[in-house]
Structure 1
């Protein structure tokens, strides 16, 4: 696979000064997909040059360039290097460049990805161009601020469907060749990274809403699981909501959503042609409301990008957060306001904000607004800070200026900059005008500094049980010592007849290192004192001793799901900071979570309880896991047959099962014996059960082959590689490692293998791979694309090696001179390992 050009900000700025791009005409020949790994690409780009006689370059990461012509004259392509792009000299004031190239299909999820469906052997293609991979398909000035109109023409087999940003203008069938040429309408002005081509025998359904032709596509073998009713319902609700509040209509005549197989991300906001991860959001098995809400959030997130990112686009990648934070905020806001998922802010706190807190405590943390020197550097910043911390800060900003002034500012911003590019100061100016409030200090404090504060209550109580003083301490990390102003609510909760009821709520501004709360002096101490009640600010929370004891025993007794999610967020962070023993965290799961009725909290917290075992003293980890298995089994048995809780607790029980009796029970479920009434042991649950049985040695590796014969689909193949990775033998680990580090491995094979490589109980099997992992990080950074290299450094990290010896090896490697992006995944894995080790030491003392 040819390397791409890594564009620097300086290069982009110079090229933007020099060029104004008018249009692209891109012709792709995809008819040879069965004969080889390449396809034909012809690009004609029309552009103006502000300095006639100057020279520049255009990105094209091709297998080879056949020829190129600038204003009718041949371009010397003999020295072409895809890492440098194609040099073009002696530019005129008005130019047309034509590049004829042979490009390569990918199997890494970037560029033009090709997969063959194992069910019907049909080929499916889809494009993924963010950050700078459009150059792998056609010649382009691959930066966000050189927008242009695009006209695509695609030659394919006759029975294929082709989907792009715009509707098809014509389809011409060449019957003798059994091919078809699809010509698309010319697009509005857009950036190259949000153009799109999806091609193959996709199955599609359509519906028109508010004048917009909405399409929904998937592979033919998955059409029975498409759920047009559910997806279109959220899509309709999203368009109605955003049209009502954003002031500018969605500008294209159609809006397609394509479920893409072997996809690297959750989804991508290609203008008018959204691609969504099939494996995550095209459900072929029973799912709970948690998964349905997550799908709705993804649908709305990508739709919000039609305004944030597509209509108005960042000038350069340091404003990536302008795309992602706003889409993250807008999707949850729309979910709450426009769909049935009215508790989406609770889910945001549980599933997304915790992601931001975790990323912000890494040694690699960065401000929400961050400088990006080049396109490779930005790859690692698609993280919890750019998405979730940024969205949390926007949520605070909305509360500060008010939703109506905030929306008025957005409307002005969209009107002013539609089809163009903007920077954060453009948006900030519109928000200041609309709200009448100065916002620069807020932006500088929250968006240009890194790190997260910890808010801790310091209380004193007299002999009658009344507060003599309450002070909120603001602790900040030494590396990022910014004391921010936090507007928080403080809730006072009393346990009455088994219910934790809020007696009072006050709002205060927390500033500096310590903020006294005189309103609480003389007030009777509650059973639970909850800082940041209603989740008004972005900060880690702590509980005083009495409140913590109440929380462990009675969190589920809180009436408000958001308050319960705050307790779980605080407890999880205390566990990770070695302030709460793992045994106590698991106890919280066994007592309160089993009585929780919010499936979103249940799903996230179940994963956290399972994760807490890494922080447990290894000498009694098995005992804790057994306690958790018994609690999950009881909760499963108490749940209504066929309900969301039953399925969620069945999966938690299976994951925690280690006893001979439990494993025999799981094996029975696979044979249809002893299955709880209402529990659907469908394809995905079967793989989950089998993976546990294989990992524990309860069944042999051959059982994977048998299950794959039963489920010989793309999903079955993907899940089979996870199961093979957990086989507890040295030989299986070696085979898995070879798949992981083979540059030729398909993206889904490598990812699945990494996901199963390092179970907590298989440290001895993984230990020999610590040094090979470290050796492979820089090697694969050279051989793979940046996105795949980042994923390898994070997912292949041997996270089950929680000991001082492993830390010493990691520290020695990190001390060597390497580029920061290469070190990043290792540094983050090392920090997580150190946290787990401190947690184990605390748990042993407890």
Structure 2
């Protein structure tokens, strides 16, 4: 569907109701296989009687369709085009009975078989426009309506939807039909139906019934106490801040298998990725904070996205950016994760900075001409950059004014559709500030600025001049207004103590910090302290020399994260050699006290070696990283999250025979540090590392899977098998990935995760050319999610050479490739170009 078509249809129609009946049984009370029956009754009005339109119906077979009692001609039906509706009346009633296919791609009605007990679990995933895979609908966000669901399922199943069930009736000896209350007005993409023998735990908070669900075999790992705690803290915080109560009587959350994303904000029936957020083994606070953030992100959507919804997908950024910002705000203020803004900077904003520097960069707000364009825009700009700009907007107007504007926005547009302009109106009224220039500067332009301090210090040790130089890429020359803090830090023993914080509006190319003239020079001058603005940073020479030895002395984790991020950006921009970055990490990271910063920076250090270091120096880099992790592991508290974090880092860095022997010992039950529990997930990580090095056999993998015959075990075993470093194995994995029959989404992801490895660059080199031979065909025949994963994970990312660039350029020069596919391939090329520049810098440093 195009935006033009959607606007035309929205002008013509008002949808007054959907009544949807699903039968997911085989007629004998058993779970169905292949397809399910769906009967949709749609009532709608037409502003221009006599007009024609269409309704999306991505069915395998349409059995019958009547419009106002008249049989429709099904001769021109196709799942891509839907059903043509001609001769509309002022009031219309459409009845469509059809068979729809179950999904194995995570889009539509996903059907997953639990390998533990062979039970079947269903859940829906409708965003962006996949509701049409389950029922006939006008599948666009501004044609809101009310929905009444009915589902016939096996007798022992539970069914969960947006609203509570009203009644249940027998449907033969082995089945039942569950009838749900009618929903308030909402968009098709946040409807939901989930069914199966789910394990359920219930609670209540502030008059809202709370549910937590998972597969029966995962019930031991559903730590509902913590899940409900975060949810309750979120409700209390958002109720207080937003001034509008959550409007539904219940709030259910389901942790489901084979989910493509992190979670989905279905109104009152949120689905989460079981693989990410139900922990079968020990994890650290890094994982707990990520889970809390996701819970709060989806909860924020109940207001921003569900209660008030974008009119069309060009405001997708506003839905996601707001939820991203609000979840970190809530996490930092209402939960135990008080340093959530540090994680936002190090994990999320770094994603935004990376995305914003690709050739595919785009403004936060941009037109979405069709749904294919939307699919690839669930990216770091839409989420993380947008949230960073909202954080800047909050600093610009003040939190109190921002919250006042939000409350007015929710009250004015509840149950309807709105645009960013509608929000700006309320924020301008609340703050008294003109915001159109701010919006144009930040939302309608692309790429990221760099702020660099130009510092002059006089003989008396005071600043004679401090200028903030703002830089912009030549192709995107916008110089923006940044509200920033400048922190002045002095060394006190090993501590770096903030003496002062100067606030400054940076505009244009050069902004003088006049307030600092004559002030005693600090040991560290830190731009954008408190991380108010979305910008890359540089440190002056004096400050950089200090933090190299004293980065752990910065008392604020947010300030330390700013410095770590600045070093990372310098590395990626080929201003800092990879070997120098790794040296900084090895010197400073073992003294880091924030486990989120430690986890993320250790991962970045591994990327620095595999992507940005001179290949001749890489063995030295891996040895440094392994030694850092081994030493920190030895001194970590037994049984702590720190011990686990450092053990994971050591496993990831291990390359040499001696290091392999350590991993083998841990796996076999010998030599593990006291307190380190080598549990299920850590065993898989060990086995995958050994497999990638050619130090584990297929038989070992099968034995491990026999002891863990679960959905998680099958995923991990598939990765381990794909990592086996033989030409024959890689050929077999490639054949499975590119077979026309396709594979389920979980297997597609696992095979891609194990196919390429930084340890196997030469082995997979022949597949660089093969990727370009097949990528268009895979894209054409696959659903959008697995297609995107094939492009992003299958691109020859480790083949960092001019030859890879040439192969990419030849492919990009071909006519006829879809724009979204071209974009993703070009992004792969960007990574290789950047890596080549960084490697040249590292080589020169050697």
- Per the normalisation by structure 1, the TM-score is 0.98
**Deviations 1:223-256, CA, capped at 9 Å, x for gaps:** 0000010000011111111111111111111100
In structure 2, distance between residues paired with 1:427 and 1:517? 33
Which residue number in structure 2 is paired with residue 649 of structure 1?
A: 646
Partner of 1:755: 753
Residue 31 (structure 1) aligned with residue 28 (structure 2):
no
Query: Which residue of the other structure, out of 626, 632, 636, is the alignment partner of 2:629?
Result: 632
What secondary structure, in the 3-state scheme, does the structure 2 residue paired with 1:469 have? strand
1:339 counterpart = 2:357? no
* Distance across 2 between alignment mates of 1:121 and 1:21: 40
Residue aligned with 2:760, SS: helix
Cα pair distance change 1:527/1:701, threshold 3 Å: farther
The 1-side partners of 2:542 and 2:693 are apart by 40
Q: Which residue in the other structure is 1:554 paired with?
A: 550
Matched, 1:63 2:57: no
On the 8 A contact 2:447/2:476 being kept in 1, the answer is yes
CA offset at residue 173 of structure 1? 2.3
1:396-545 to 2 correspondence within 5 Å?
396-545=392-541
Q: Are residue 609 (structure 1) and residue 605 (structure 2) matched?
A: yes
Q: 8 Å contact 2:800–2:835 — kept in the other structure?
A: yes
Contact 1:409/1:430 (<8 A) preserved: yes
| Structure-2 residue corresponding to 1:376 | 372
Instruction: Tell me the alpha carbon deviations over residues 273-307 of structure 1, each in whole angstroms, 9 at most, x when there is no partner.
Output: 00000000011110111111111100000000000
> Displacement, 1:35?
5.2
Task: Give me the whole-angstrom Cα distance separating, in 2, the residues matched to 1:115 and 1:772.
Answer: 31
Conserved? CA contact 1:238–1:338, under 8 Å: yes
Tell me if 1:580 matches 2:580: no
Map Cα deviations across residues 554-610 of structure 1 (whole Å, 9 max, x no partner): 211111100000011111111111111111111121111111110110111111011
Partner of residue 763 from structure 2, selected from 754, 765, 786:
765
Residues 17-56 of structure 1: pairs in structure 2 closer than 5 A: 17-32=11-26, 34=31, 36-56=33-53
Residue number in structure 2 paired with 1:708: 705
| Cα contact 2:150–2:177 (8 A) shared by 1 | yes
Give CA deviations for 1:459-495 in whole Å, capped at 9, x if unaligned: 2334454433222111101121110011111112222
Is 1:141 paired with 2:135?
A: no
- Per the TM alignment, residue 691 of structure 1 is displaced from its structure 2 partner at its CA by 0.7
Q: Which one of the candidate residues 778, 781, 798 is aligned to 1:780? A: 778
Question: C-alpha distance in 2, partners of 1:810/1:528?
Answer: 43
Aligned position for 1:189: 185
What pairs up with 1:216-295 in 2 under 5 angstroms?
216-295=212-291
- Alpha-carbon distance, 1:834 to partner: 1.0
- Contact map agreement 2:363 2:445 (CA 8 A) in 1: yes
- 1:828 and 1:665 map into 2 onto residues whose CA distance is 38
SS in structure 1 at match of 2:835: helix
Task: Give the distance between the partners of 1:465 and 1:693, measured in 2 at CA.
Answer: 55
State the distance in 1 between where 2:752 and 2:454 align. Answer: 44
Distance 1:447 1:365 in 2: 12
Contact 1:194 1:270 in 2 (8 A): yes
Q: Is the contact made by 1:312 and 1:417 (CA closer than 8 Å) also made in structure 2? A: yes
Secondary structure (helix, strand or coil) at the match of 2:659 reads helix
How many residues in Structure 1 have an aligned counterpart in Structure 2? 839
Q: Does 1:9 find its partner at 2:3?
A: yes
Q: CA 1:696–1:380 in 2, change beyond 3 Å: closer, same or farther?
A: same
Q: Superposition pairs for residues 329-368 of structure 1, below 5 Å?
A: 329-368=325-364
Mapped to 2, the partners of 1:602 and 1:381 lie a distance apart of 30
Partner of 1:830: 829
- Structure 2 residue corresponding to 1:720, chosen from 709, 717, 728: 717
Distance 2:774 2:555 in 1: 50
How far apart are residue 94 of structure 1 and its match?
A: 0.3
Structure 1 unpaired stretches of 5+: 1-6
Provide the secondary structure at the position in 2 that maps to 1:484: coil
- 1:589 is matched with which residue: 582, 585, 588? 585
Question: What are the ranges of 5 or more consecutive residues in structure 2 without an aligned counterpart?
Answer: none
Q: Could you say which residue in structure 2 is the equivalent of 1:672?
A: 669
> Take 2:623 and 2:218, find their aligned partners in 1: how far apart are those partners?
38
Aligned residue in 2 for 1:3: none
8 Å contact from structure 2 (residues 578, 612) kept in 1: yes
- After superposition, the CA RMSD in angstroms is 1.2
Residue 87 of structure 1 aligns to a residue whose secondary structure is strand
Name the CA distance, whole Å, in 2 between partners of 1:641 and 1:518.
Answer: 51
- Alpha-carbon displacement from aligned partner over 1:134-180 (angstroms, at most 9, x marks no partner): 0000000000000110000000100001100010011112352x001
Q: 8 Å contact 1:632–1:652 — kept in the other structure?
A: yes
**Partners of 1:52 and 1:631 in 2: CA distance:** 73
Q: Distance in 2 between matches of 1:775 and 1:306?
A: 44
Structure 2 distance, partners of 1:496, 1:774, is 57
Shift of 1:549: 2.4
SS of residue paired to 2:759: helix
Counterpart CA distance in 1 for 2:782 and 2:192 is: 22
Distance in 1 between the 2:542 and 2:833 partners?
29
Of residues 59, 72, 79, the one that matches 1:75 is: 72
Q: Which residue of 1 aligns with 2:800?
A: 802
> Structure 2 CA distance, aligned partners of 1:211 and 1:723?
47
C-alpha contact (below 8 Å) 2:489/2:500 kept by paired residues: yes
Among candidates 294, 313, 316, match of residue 312 of structure 2: 316
1:698 is aligned to 695
CA distance, structure 1, for counterparts of residue 745 and residue 93 of structure 2: 37
Q: What secondary structure is seen at the aligned counterpart in 1 of 2:678?
A: coil
Contact 1:225 1:282 in 2 (8 A): yes
> Counterparts of 1:168 and 1:547 in 2: how far apart (Å)?
62
**Within 2, Cα distance between the matches of 1:789 and 1:422?**
32
Q: Distance in 1 between matches of 2:464 and 2:612?
A: 36
Greater CA drift, 516-525 or 50-59:
516-525
Q: 2:727 aligns with which of 718, 726, 730?
A: 730
1:305-358 Cα deviation digits (max 9, x unpaired): 000000000000000012101101110111111111111001100110111111
